[in-house]
Chain A
Amino acid sequence: MQKFQIRYTFNQRLNFMMSIIIVLMGIIVLRFFYLQVIQYDFYKTKSISNSLRTIPIASLRGIIYDRNKQVLAENRLIYNLEINPEDNLNLDEVKNRLAKIIHITDTDISNYKKLVKNNIYATSLPIKIDLSAEETAHFVAHQFQFPDISILQRQERFYPFGELSSHAVGYINRINSKDIQDIKNKNLESKYNGVNHIGKTGIEYFYEDIIHGRPGYQRVEVNAQNDIFRIIEEIPPINGDNISLTIDIRLQEKIVKKFENKKGAFVAIDVNNGEILSYVSQPSYDPNLFINGINFDAWDQLNNNSTKPLLNRVIAGLYPPGSTLKPFIALSGIENNLRRPPFAIEDPGFFQMPGAKKIFRDWKKGGHGHVDIIKAIAVSCDTFFYGLGLELGMTKMNRTLSQFYFGEQTGLDLAGEKKGLLATPKWKQKTYKKPWYGGETAITAIGQGFTQVTPIQLAYATALLANPKLNKKPHLLLYSTKKELTDIDQKPPAINPASLKTIYQGMEDVTQDGGTAAFIGKKSKYKIAAKTGTAQVFGLAQGEEYDEDTLPEHLKDHALFIAYAPAEKPKVAVAVIVENGGHGSSAAGPIAKTFFDHYFEEF
């Protein structure tokens, strides 16, 4: 016992205890020094980010008008019920609660789930979009029962003309993960803060940067409950530009009516400035379905429909041009000093390949008799063009055709334009590993064979033919409040005007007595220059007869028609394609005539 006290006195033990306390206090001081002096910057940043929030303020998308100020796309005020995905609410329970006062379905819930997946940073997403006035009133009256659900006013895109405008105007949709990647690649994140929608197709996509605008934001200080404590700065949003398009939607409406239920495309271009006056692709779809993510059934119905309503036929529909190619082949002949009038042939109704047994038939049994190049266009004489084509050869034909932008993009202001195809022996060797035959040159001259064109190419080529001085690309944007139309200049074809006179004569004769579309010109107050065409969908074996009445609908020929008017002083050029429409003049011609009639009525 005595031992303890002898070994260490109380005061020694006391001092030991005190030393421990002092050492621990020293450690605390070092710790404070580390946090407050050495790591000051780190914690200062933390402290600021703790309480600073940026709240985006959405910008309004620009309105899209047609050339007569008809609204094609606008913003409509709607009421949504929205919840915060971070709340992790039980969706079934939310649905059951809401179902007592409003109409809500499983589709709404599954749409919401899809949104959550695609919008990982969103703090408010709609569980029910566009409440009716009645539902809005109902919900507001019961709001107190739903503290976790808010009713919010949103601007929603609306396309008043629906199907009528969809292929030109396109639509917007919710931003998905692929869009986010695009936005990041283009370094446009700041323009899309708090923005839910983006242009997906058509004009909405192509002019996204000017229609979209720029969202503003509020920088606020919040407390730990995320309540706003004070507003530090506020940058107002810049709304998107309103734009006007070159199309006349009312006129387009009449064209669509004329199509009835047929598939096809119609394009009208002002030959003096390249403005696209009508842009029709049939069948079409309602763009309003897409705005908040289309539901699966509707998508399935559109996407797997045999009539392909989603296909933008004007720029992405590929068709054999048929006889509508003949004026251009004829032009190639004259430019190359072949078949200039008064050169003529006697047409027996068929063409025999020189040095071969192969016979190419004319569409008319017994032939057209005495045919010069003008008549060859007017009556669409195949025999004449077989010979011309063979004599010209692919190189010379293609050189002329590519001057009219066949086989190339016309460069209009829409995405997804197809190039079409001007075939060459080299191309065939590469694609099919087979040599080129002379007969293929012959049928290329009448627009069959491998050649493929889009309706916009046909219309633009016709416009260039009617006015070879046209040095603008075809385009849909008439004007925007900000953007000037700058990059629409295009090199016009280098064609001798004298050569064209012969072609004009042939095309004018098409709508005169004896021409393939004589009935179109009969009662017309103005003169129409045109060319009909019939493109085979279905290859007939040698000697087989084409019988329109017994052939199934989808194997019937495509009807084509190109035209410009008035013939003396061309104002507008058109191209019409009616899929499986049969003969060019009877199925496609009247649609062009309808357009011209209404168009010239207004002048």
Chain B
Amino acid sequence: MDITNLIIKLKKIDQLLIGLLCLIIIVGLFTVASSEKLAQSIIMAQLINIFVGVSSMLLIILSDPKKIFSLAPLIYLLSLFLLVLVQFFGYEVNGSQRWLNLGLMKFQPSELLKVTLPLALAWLYHINESKISWKTHIVAILIILIPFMLILIQPDLGTALMISFIALSIIFCAGLSIKLIGWGVIILLLSSPFIWNSLESYQQSRILTMFDPFSDALGSGYQTIQSMIALGSGGLIGKGWNNAQQTFLEFLPEASTDFIFAVFSEEFGFIGVIAILSIYFLFLLRCNFMISRMQDTFSRLLSLGLIVSIFLGLIINLGMISGLLPIVGVPLPFFSYGGTSMVVSLISIGIIMNLYINKTLIAN
């Protein structure tokens, strides 16, 4: 690839999307900085995460989309392999085996599935474009089920449900019959008591306390309550940056990662929340616009899956910190401290940009 070609490609990058992304990441960085006593070290660590993420994103943007397409099944299989590895070599945090240690950095292979599963599904529907039948859907279900089970036994119910929801949104947009979806929903509702019984007791208590966190204020409701106190006491205008009492008095758990937005809400109040959510909203609209311009099934379904993945993360995270959803370890994309989430999210955006820049390439 020569230099001129590279510059042309870089010029094609969607500037609005990049601008919105930068805003979110910078605000997130400042919030992360205020969430820890040793701000310097966490800023450095997060900057490294961002650097690795942005480099990966650029690398993806500049790569050949056809290569992405042809490597899709392989990448998917590789991520499955890593999930299996976790079963044997992963180490436990809080009772579940989710992490792989790669020497320099630790990461969660299940996070990778948020990219590789859409890749595999988009690839599947693309190669069967002209002859999509129920058989294709069965294969798709298999592609989903294998990683779903592997993640479920870690156990990590939250992520397992999340990737299946992402996958289902892809199947839906690939053209699944509405009637079939209706039946699926009915079956799901009927089987919900059995699903409930198969849940671990800590998962059950998390769901129960969601409805009344104060019923177990020092137990499983504790995190939710402290988070809601952080939010509520932030009020309309907030307590100001670096002034989040709930955080520096250590009442708020996991302040820099899962509960980072509670810190932000306490510091900047409802006005700050509206501002950030507006940026995310514009970001979503821009992505929607880009996807609607795409021509081929692979690009469309893959981009859709990735954007659903990012915004599902956002909804679950905000629902969780505001007491609408049970506590599941889902970070806020681009905002929370943490390497895997940041890198995976940026790679996702890189893929969407690549596919948008090259929207005519794969179709041919």
Q: How far is the CA of A349 from the CA of B338 in the complex (A)?
A: 113
Residue from the list A10, A22, A40, A223 in contact with B284, Cβ < 8 A: A22
Q: How far is the CB of A350 from chain B (nearest CB, A)?
A: 86
CB contact list, A1-59 vs B, under 8 A: 1, 4-5, 7-8, 10-11, 13-15, 17-18, 21-22, 24-25, 27-29, 31-33, 35-37, 39-40, 42-44, 46-47, 50-51
Check B231 against A46 for contact (C-beta < 8 Å): no
| A22-B284, A44-B232 known, 8 other contacts, Cβ within 8 Å | A1-B131, A10-B173, A10-B175, A14-B173, A18-B288, A37-B270, A40-B235, A42-B232
CB neighbours (8 Å) of A27 from chain B are 324
CB neighbours (8 Å) of B248 from chain A are 223
| Chain A residue at smallest Cβ distance from B180 | A4
Check B250 against A11 for contact (C-beta < 8 Å): no
Check B233 against A44 for contact (C-beta < 8 Å): yes
Q: A4-B176, A33-B270 are in contact. Are A223 and B288 (CB under 8 A)?
A: no
Q: How far is the CA of A25 from the CA of B292 in the complex (A)?
A: 21
| Chain A residue at smallest Cβ distance from B238 | A36
Check A28 against B251 for contact (C-beta < 8 Å): no
Check A50 against B246 for contact (C-beta < 8 Å): yes
Check B265 against A36 for contact (C-beta < 8 Å): yes
Check A28 against B277 for contact (C-beta < 8 Å): yes
Check B235 against A14 for contact (C-beta < 8 Å): no
Residue from the list A10, A21, A32 in contact with B322, Cβ < 8 A: A32
Residues of chain B at interface, number, CB under 8 A: 51
| Chain A residue at smallest Cβ distance from B292 | A11
Q: A1-B132, A17-B169 are in contact. Are A28 and B324 (CB under 8 A)?
A: yes
Q: How far is the CA of A142 from the CA of B245 in the complex (A)?
A: 38
Q: How far is the CB of B78 from chain A (nearest CB, A)?
A: 28
A494 at interface, CB cutoff 8 A: no
Check A5 against B233 for contact (C-beta < 8 Å): no
B98 at interface, CB cutoff 8 A: no
Q: A14-B291, A37-B236, A37-B270 are in contact. Are A43 and B251 (CB under 8 A)?
A: no
If over half of A's interface residues share one DSSP class (helix, strand or loop), that class is named, otherwise mixed; here it is helix
Check A29 against B274 for contact (C-beta < 8 Å): yes
Check A32 against B265 for contact (C-beta < 8 Å): yes
A146 at interface, CB cutoff 8 A: no
Check A28 against B319 for contact (C-beta < 8 Å): yes
Minimum-distance CB pairs A-B, first 8? A43-B232, A47-B233, A4-B175, A36-B270, A223-B249, A224-B250, A40-B235, A13-B173
Check B233 against A21 for contact (C-beta < 8 Å): no
Residue from the list B176, B292, B315, B322 in contact with A24, Cβ < 8 A: B315
Check A25 against B233 for contact (C-beta < 8 Å): no
A579 at interface, CB cutoff 8 A: no
Q: How far is the CB of B73 from chain A (nearest CB, A)?
A: 22
Check B292 against A21 for contact (C-beta < 8 Å): no
Instruction: Map CB proximity to A onto B165-193 as digits: 1 under 8 Å, 0 otherwise.
Output: 00001001101111000000000000000
Check B315 against A47 for contact (C-beta < 8 Å): no
Instruction: Map CB proximity to A onto B215-240 as digits: 1 under 8 Å, 0 otherwise.
Output: 00000000000101111111110000
A294 at interface, CB cutoff 8 A: no
| Chain A residue at smallest Cβ distance from B310 | A21
CB neighbours (8 Å) of B270 from chain A are 32-33, 36-37
Which residues of A pack against B, CB within 8 Å?
Answer: 1, 4-5, 7-8, 10-11, 13-15, 17-18, 21-22, 24-25, 27-29, 31-33, 35-37, 39-40, 42-44, 46-47, 50-51, 221-225, 229
Q: How far is the CA of A214 from the CA of B226 in the complex (A)?
A: 36
B81 at interface, CB cutoff 8 A: no
| Chain A residue at smallest Cβ distance from B249 | A223
B273 at interface, CB cutoff 8 A: yes
B101 at interface, CB cutoff 8 A: no
B269 at interface, CB cutoff 8 A: yes
Q: How far is the CA of A45 from the CA of B196 in the complex (A)?
A: 36
Check A221 against B300 for contact (C-beta < 8 Å): no
Residue from the list A21, A43, A221 in contact with B311, Cβ < 8 A: A21
CB neighbours (8 Å) of B292 from chain A are 11, 14
Check B175 against A5 for contact (C-beta < 8 Å): yes
| Chain A residue at smallest Cβ distance from B300 | A10
B133 at interface, CB cutoff 8 A: yes
CB contact list, B102-126 vs A, under 8 A: none
Which residues of B pack against A, CB within 8 Å?
Answer: 131-133, 169, 172-173, 175-178, 226, 228-236, 245-246, 248-251, 265, 269-270, 273-274, 277, 280-281, 284, 288, 291-292, 297, 300, 304, 308, 311-312, 314-315, 318-319, 322-324
Check B228 against A35 for contact (C-beta < 8 Å): yes
Q: How far is the CA of A15 from the CA of B172 in the complex (A)?
A: 12
**Most chain B CB neighbours (cut-off 10 Å) among A17, A36, A42:** A36
CB neighbours (8 Å) of B284 from chain A are 18, 21-22, 25
Check B300 against A39 for contact (C-beta < 8 Å): no
Q: How far is the CA of A224 from the CA of B231 in the complex (A)?
A: 17
CB neighbours (8 Å) of A15 from chain B are 288
Q: How far is the CB of A192 from chain B (nearest CB, A)?
A: 28
Q: A4-B177, A14-B291, A47-B229 are in contact. Are A25 and B281 (CB under 8 A)?
A: yes
Check B315 against A43 for contact (C-beta < 8 Å): no
Residue from the list A24, A32, A225, A229 in contact with B231, Cβ < 8 A: A32
| Chain B residue at smallest Cβ distance from A9 | B175
Check A21 against B315 for contact (C-beta < 8 Å): yes
| Chain B residue at smallest Cβ distance from A6 | B175
CB neighbours (8 Å) of A40 from chain B are 232-233, 235-236
Q: A5-B175, A13-B172, A31-B322 are in contact. Are A51 and B249 (CB under 8 A)?
A: yes
Q: How far is the CB of A229 from chain B (nearest CB, A)?
A: 6
Residue from the list B250, B297, B304 in contact with A17, Cβ < 8 A: B304
Q: How far is the CB of A231 from chain B (nearest CB, A)?
A: 15
CB neighbours (8 Å) of B176 from chain A are 4
Q: How far is the CB of B255 from chain A (nearest CB, A)?
A: 11
**Most chain A CB neighbours (cut-off 10 Å) among B233, B251, B315:** B233
Check B133 against A1 for contact (C-beta < 8 Å): yes
Q: How far is the CA of A13 from the CA of B300 in the complex (A)?
A: 11
Check A47 against B246 for contact (C-beta < 8 Å): yes
Q: How far is the CB of B338 from chain A (nearest CB, A)?
A: 21
CB neighbours (8 Å) of A32 from chain B are 231, 265, 270, 273, 318, 322
Can you list 6 A-B contacts (CB < 8 A)?
A: A1-B133, A5-B175, A17-B172, A32-B318, A40-B236, A224-B249
Check A14 against B233 for contact (C-beta < 8 Å): no
Q: A37-B270, A39-B232 are in contact. Are A51 and B245 (CB under 8 A)?
A: yes
Q: How far is the CA of A91 from the CA of B83 in the complex (A)?
A: 48
CB neighbours (8 Å) of B300 from chain A are 10, 14
| Chain B residue at smallest Cβ distance from A49 | B229
Residue from the list A7, A10, A36 in contact with B273, Cβ < 8 A: A36
Check A35 against B249 for contact (C-beta < 8 Å): no
Check B231 against A35 for contact (C-beta < 8 Å): yes
Q: How far is the CB of B226 from chain A (nearest CB, A)?
A: 8
Residue from the list B236, B250, B280 in contact with A225, Cβ < 8 A: B250
Q: How far is the CB of B43 from chain A (nearest CB, A)?
A: 22
Check A223 against B251 for contact (C-beta < 8 Å): yes
Q: How far is the CA of A29 from the CA of B176 in the complex (A)?
A: 31
Residue from the list B175, B228, B319 in contact with A43, Cβ < 8 A: B228
Q: How far is the CA of A22 from the CA of B173 in the complex (A)?
A: 17
Q: A36-B265, A50-B229, A223-B249 are in contact. Are A25 and B315 (CB under 8 A)?
A: yes
Check B249 against A222 for contact (C-beta < 8 Å): yes
